[in-house]
């Protein structure tokens, strides 16, 4: 397979690396770039563990071709903390929203896009926003609580 | 495997062949790529016509590359919003395209079910007149070279209440469909004229329930007519057995789900 150069913005910094044609963005980020925050779950678009934000929208990195992100803005969970942990990360810890932690980076990406667009989501909005992310540990309730608590905290701040 | 990108759809259409697959949103093709089972050439195109949504006289022309999320955000496609919302989770809706849905095998492909009930026509890249969606679905997988869909022309229901859609899944809020049903029942003077009912996951592609349509044609939507249509829901359909449900189960419940959908339409 031929390799192609891919230049893109990852969590605010320009990055460039070679990607094999057909390589998915998840493998490209993990092996090519060294960002291990997006996780490989199913490789079929079912579990959401590989969720990243591309140009402000959540995408499944395992179903995105690496060469297709040329010139685009990609955000991953590793870019959330800025000197200190992000309020969503703080709330996930506070509410025990992570057990094994494998779904957490994807959950955080879905939650971030939700709160960026809708600062006062209802419980139903949160459930819908994370409906593409599977969690096999928590039963979802602590995750929903953590996201709602983050929204409440921000409104009070 | 090779990835080929073309500026225009016409060039992409010429590049297709038995060894090639066209990739739009990637939710179907990349699964095969990841599994190592994809075609040896992947054809892509960033042609802007793919993402156009144009209101025509009595309908809407939707570029095949329009995503479910884009369809949801478009006011001209409000009559399809419940269908677009039923597809996948947010991430899938940001990626999956209307054109791609026509190639999706069950348990996916719910949007195509709605398009079939609405009598949509399909514009193929590099080919002249639009074809009925039924023809494209019938030919799906039969010819060695798959066509590229440029746009889908969807007639807008004159009365939005004449169209209804239901996706039956075991998991809420997001679960693949055991089956999906779409019904378009336009009425003239209280009588149904041009009834179209389509089922997903009741055969190899989305299919029309022609026996139920015949029962409804020319009738008003009353309890007796609904009961007769429900009884004939599976007539001529050959539901599959898969991990989600057996053929027997699908046959058992299809009539009940159709009945519920029609009753909901009757209540308005």
Which among B30, B38, B173 is the top mutation candidate for probing chain A, defined by the most A β-carbons within 10 Å of its own β-carbon?
B30
The number of angstroms, rounded, from the C-alpha of B124 to the middle of its chain's C-alpha atoms is 16
Looking at the fold, whether B102 and B151 belong to one and the same domain comes out as yes
Residue B137 Cα, gap to closest chain A Cα (Å): 24
Report yes or no on B55 lying in a domain: yes
Establish if B26 belongs to a structural domain: no
Using CA atoms, how far residue A72 sits from A14, A68, B31, B51, in Å, is: 10, 9, 22, 18
User: Which of A22, A44, A58 has the CB atom closest to B91's CB atom?
Assistant: A58
What lies within 8 Å, CB to CB, of A13 at 6+ separation is: none
Is B230 part of a structural domain of the chain?
Answer: yes
What's the token pair of residue B87? 């597809």
Is position B23 within any domain? no
Contacts of A118 in chain B (CB under 8 A): none
Of the candidates A43, A63, A132, which has its C-beta nearest B90's C-beta?
Answer: A132
Domain boundaries, chain A: 3-79, 87-156
CB contact under 8 A, A48 and B89: yes
pLDDT profile of chain B (268 residues), mean per 10: 95 96 97 95 96 95 98 97 96 98 94 98 92 95 87 96 96 88 96 97 97 98 97 96 96 98 93
pLDDT of residue A124: 97
- Establish if B14 belongs to a structural domain: no
Same domain, B70 and B94: yes
Q: Which CATH class is domain A3-79?
A: alpha beta
Which of B84, B90, B244 to substitute to test the interface with A, most A CBs within 10 Å? B90
Are B174 and B219 within one domain?
Answer: yes
Tell which CATH classification among 2.40.50.140, 1.10.150.120, 3.30.70.520, 1.20.58.1180 matches the domain A87-156.
1.10.150.120
Residues with Cβ within 8 Å of residue B68, at least 6 apart in sequence: B84, B85, B87, B88, B92, B93, B94, B96, B97, B98, B111
Give all strands of the β-sheet with B41-45 in edge-to-edge order: B2-6, B41-45, B20-22
Are A3-79 and A87-156 the same fold in CATH? no
What letter does residue B146 receive in the DSSP assignment? P
B167 and B238 belong to one structural domain: yes
Number of domains in chain B: 2
Same domain, B74 and B133: yes
Q: Decide if B3 and A21 are in contact by the 8 Å CB cutoff.
A: yes
pTM: 0.96
Domain boundary residue, one of B115, B140, B155 = B155
Quick one: B143 and B187 in the same domain? no
Residue among A74, A154, A145, A70 at smallest CA distance from A107: A145
Cβ–Cβ gap A113/B90 under 8 Å: yes
- Domain housing B240: 160-267
Q: What's B139's domain CATH number?
A: 3.30.465.10
Angle between helices A104-117 and A141-156 (to 10 degrees): 40
State the nearest Cα–Cα gap between A99 and chain B, in angstroms: 22
- ipTM passes above 0.90: yes
State the best of A18, A22, A67, A125 to mutate against chain B, taking most chain B CBs within 10 Å. A22
Nearest to A59 among B34, B35, B91 (CB): B91
Question: Hey, what are B226's tokens?
Answer: 């609904």
Give me the CATH number covering residue B248.
3.30.390.50
- Kindly tell me the burial class for residue B217, based on how many C-beta atoms sit within 10 Å of its own C-beta (0-12, 13-18, 19 or more): middle
DSSP state at residue B244: S
Ordered per-residue pLDDT tens for chain A, 157 residues? 689 999 999 999 999 999 999 999 999 999 999 999 999 999 999 999 999 999 999 999 999 999 999 999 999 999 999 889 999 999 999 999 999 999 999 999 999 999 999 999 999 999 999 999 999 999 999 999 999 999 999 888 7
Looking at B131, B155, B179, the residue that finishes a domain is B155
Distance CA B21, CA B12 (A): 10
Using the 3D structure, point to which of B155, B181, B205 is the last residue of a domain.
B155
Residues B211 and B128 in one domain: no
pLDDT tens digit sequence for B1-37? 899 999 999 999 999 999 999 999 999 999 999 999 9
Percentage of residues of chain A with pLDDT beyond 90: 94
């Amino acid at each position: 397979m031929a390799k192609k150069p891919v230049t893109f913005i990852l969590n605010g910094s320009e990055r460039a690396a070679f990607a094999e044609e057909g390589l998915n963005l998840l493998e490209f980020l993990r092996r090519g770039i060294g960002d291990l925050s997006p996780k490989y779950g199913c490789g079929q678009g079912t579990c959401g563990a590989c969720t990243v934000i591309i140009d402000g929208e959540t995408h499944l990195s395992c179903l995105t071709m690496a060469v297709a992100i040329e010139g685009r803005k990609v955000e991953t969970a590793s870019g959330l903390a800025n000197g200190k942990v992000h309020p969503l990360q703080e709330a996930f810890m506070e509410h025990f929203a992570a057990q094994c932690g494998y779904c957490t980076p994807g959950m955080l990406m879905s939650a971030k896009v939700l709160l960026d667009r809708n600062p006062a989501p209802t419980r139903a909005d949160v459930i819908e926003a994370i409906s593409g992310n599977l969690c096999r540990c928590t039963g979802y309730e602590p995750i929903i609580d953590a996201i709602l608590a983050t929204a409440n905290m921000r409104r009070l701040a | 495997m090779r990835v080929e990108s073309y500026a225009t759809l016409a060039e992409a259409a010429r590049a297709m062949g038995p060894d090639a697959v066209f990739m739009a949103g990637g939710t179907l093709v990349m699964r095969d790529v990841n599994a190592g089972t994809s075609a040896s050439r992947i054809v892509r195109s960033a042609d802007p016509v793919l993402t156009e949504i144009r209101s025509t006289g009595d309908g809407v022309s939707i570029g095949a590359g329009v995503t479910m999320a884009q369809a949801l955000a478009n006011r001209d496609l409000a009559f399809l919003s419940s269908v677009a919302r039923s597809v996948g989770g947010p991430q899938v809706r940001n990626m999956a395209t209307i054109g791609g849905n026509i190639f999706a095998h069950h348990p996916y492909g719910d949007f195509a079910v709605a398009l079939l009930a609405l009598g949509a026509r399909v514009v193929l890249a590099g080919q002249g007149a639009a074809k009925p969606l039924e023809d494209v679905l019938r030919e799906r997988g039969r010819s060695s070279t798959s066509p590229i869909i440029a746009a889908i022309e969807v007639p807008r229901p004159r009365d939005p209440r004449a169209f209804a859609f239901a996706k039956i899944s075991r998991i809420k809020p997001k679960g693949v469909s055991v089956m999906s049903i779409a019904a378009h029942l336009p009425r003239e003077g209280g009588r149904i004229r041009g009834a179209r009912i389509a089922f997903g996951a009741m055969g190899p592609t989305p299919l029309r329930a022609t026996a139920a349509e015949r029962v409804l044609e020319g009738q008003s939507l009353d309890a007796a007519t609904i009961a007769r249509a429900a009884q004939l829901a599976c007539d001529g359909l050959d539901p599959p057995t898969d991990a989600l449900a057996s053929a027997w189960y699908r046959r058992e419940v299809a009539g009940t789900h159709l009945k519920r959908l029609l009753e909901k339409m009757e209540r308005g």
